[in-house]
């Protein structure tokens, strides 16, 4: 089996697939990329059993066949080459691979490609097509709020709901919650699924540089994302992942509906202030205190163990009763960083109830972002 391929094109595709691979695998075959040749097309796959990613590349070849090539070794080798054609020759009996370049020859021992795990088939799945930029934005706005607790796997992913009312992405770790809605995108079916963190991270990093649409296909157990779709229907890259099994918590129930106290403030000023003041906060609780009186916001933090403290004062627009409330500064910084609005709106009801963070303005009327943060008890 023989094929000729561009070194830089191959490296680009392998680096994209490399994010799927784990540093430790239960099966040795998973440390490899699967190369499948079918006449003039090379199909490359990477898998960790939960997630499988496949991409296609045009090559010069008249052969068909497959081989598994060690991932780390092939990537490290390709990084050292300038752009040039590489000739791969594969001995199908011994799985010996010889790479010929302008400079010399390199020999690698591969494995039997037939042993590589097959990607699950998605029969009779629901299908929806989204603009790549919308999908990327929905993931980046919610994924940071997902949990890491292995005892609660359903909260370690992002809940995605497709319905006739629109699409909703939601993530929570019980301390913070983000709900991202698009009412300008409607589908003719209803389904709610929990997508795992790893494949969403991969998609978020890739679709930022993708133009066009991403096709999402869903079954009760798996999801498939396809992009780089040509006019003739052929797909450039696909990612198939196993969905998280379980019932997502009723996040709508924890969003307080009555919030009479509303503060509007410059987002960048508040973010910079919290970042500075948080340096002086207790390293265990990361607590910052917000004290709002009239049109003045006092932000303070202290670490009693080391007698460190900091206070800053900002002006804001405020409607409601004077109040004092504490938050974890790390959560506040994460949320304000992901709020694309010059001004932020804080809605609060009481010091022991969740606070709501909203953008004061939005570029798209079909977009609705709500962030919720649980307060921390103030140690007066």
- 2-6 sheet: strands from edge to edge: 2-6, 85-91, 96-100, 105-109
Give 263's strand partners. Answer: 318, 346
In-domain check, residue 288: yes
- Are 133 and 240 in the same domain? yes
CB 219 within 8 A of CB 125: yes
State residue 216's pLDDT score: 94
Low-confidence ranges of the chain (pLDDT < 50): none
State residue 380's pLDDT score: 61
- Are 261 and 367 in the same domain? yes
Cα separation, 332 vs 143, whole angstroms: 15
State residue 230's pLDDT score: 81
* Residue numbers of the domain that contains 290: 255-373
The structural domain count of the chain equals 3
- Are 313 and 369 in the same domain? yes
Q: Last residue of a domain, which of 115, 145, 180?
A: 115
CB 319 within 8 A of CB 262: yes
């Amino acid at each position: 089996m023989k094929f000729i391929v561009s070194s830089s094109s191959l490296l680009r595709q392998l680096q994209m697939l490399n994010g799927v691979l784990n540093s430790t695998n239960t099966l040795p075959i998973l440390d490899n990329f699967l190369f499948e040749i079918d006449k003039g097309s090379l199909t490359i796959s990477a898998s960790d059993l939960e997630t499988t990613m496949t991409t296609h590349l045009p090559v010069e070849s008249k052969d068909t066949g497959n081989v598994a090539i060690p991932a780390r070794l092939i990537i490290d080798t390709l990084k050292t080459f300038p752009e040039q054609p590489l000739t791969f020759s594969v001995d199908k009996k011994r799985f010996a691979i010889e790479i010929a370049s302008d400079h010399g020859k390199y020999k690698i021992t591969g494995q039997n490609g037939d042993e590589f795990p097959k990607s699950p088939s998605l029969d009779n799945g629901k299908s929806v097509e989204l603009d790549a930029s919308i999908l990327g934005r929905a993931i980046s706005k919610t994924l940071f709020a997902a949990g890491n607790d292995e005892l609660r796997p359903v909260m370690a992913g992002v809940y995605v709901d497709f319905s006739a009312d629109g699409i909703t992405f939601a993530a929570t770790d019980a301390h913070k919650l983000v709900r991202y809605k698009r009412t300008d995108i409607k589908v003719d079916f209803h389904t709610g699924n929990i997508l795992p963190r790893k494949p969403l991270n991969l998609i978020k990093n890739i679709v930022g540089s993708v133009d066009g649409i991403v096709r999402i296909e869903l079954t009760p157990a798996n999801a498939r994302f396809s992009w780089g779709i040509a006019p003739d229907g052929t797909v450039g890259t696909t990612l198939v992942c196993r969905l998280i099994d379980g019932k997502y918590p009723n996040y709508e129930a924890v969003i307080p509906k009555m919030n009479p106290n509303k503060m509007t403030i410059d987002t960048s000023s508040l973010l910079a202030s919290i970042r500075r003041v948080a340096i002086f906060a207790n390293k265990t609780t990361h607590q910052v205190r917000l004290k709002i009186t009239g049109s003045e916001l006092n932000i303070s933090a202290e670490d009693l163990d080391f007698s460190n403290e900091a206070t800053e004062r900002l002006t804001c627009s405020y409607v409601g009763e004077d109040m004092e409330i504490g938050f974890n500064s790390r959560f506040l910084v994460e949320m304000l960083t992901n709020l694309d609005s010059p001004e932020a709106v804080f809605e609060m009801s009481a010091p022991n109830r969740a606070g709501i963070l909203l953008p004061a303005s939005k570029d798209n009327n079909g977009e609705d972002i709500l962030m919720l943060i649980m307060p921390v008890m103030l140690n007066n």
